Amino acid sequence: MSDLKKVKAAIRPNTKIVWIETPTNPTLKCTDISGVSKICKEKGVLLAIDNTFMSPVLQNPIKQGADIVMHSMTKYIGGHADVVGGSLHFNCPDLYDKLYFNMKSTG
């Protein structure tokens, strides 16, 4: 994911979403979120970021162009491994509504 040319070349006509963990765990490889976001927008593909490792304190992928950002709240946000949770954040209310409807309908 660190080579934007390879990212662009990997997107096919049937690609619906690009999913990134950045930085990666455990190798700490980073992805240019803004660069991948630009490619995804050109191709009409959603960009989802697993932001667990950085947490919302240190990185805000929505501001960098991500469509969906997820956090494992069990890890750094919870802090003590005594909670189980996760969160999804969206850059667009319509996308949230669409996915929330799907979640309610399918369980």
What is the per-residue pLDDT across 20-79, written as a single tens digit (0 to 9) for each? 999 998 899 999 999 999 999 999 999 999 998 888 889 999 999 999 999 888 777 777
pLDDT given for residue 11 in this prediction: 97
pLDDT given for residue 69 in this prediction: 97
Structural domain for 79, as ranges: 4-52+59-106
Cα dist. 4→28, 30, 98 in Å?
A: 17, 12, 29
β pairing state of 46-50 and 68-72: parallel
* CATH assignment of the domain containing 66: 3.40.640.10
pLDDT, greater one: 85 or 9: 9
Instruction: Of 14, 49, 25, give the one whose Cα is nearest residue 35.
Output: 49
The number of folded domains in the chain is 1
pLDDT, greater one: 69 or 99: 69
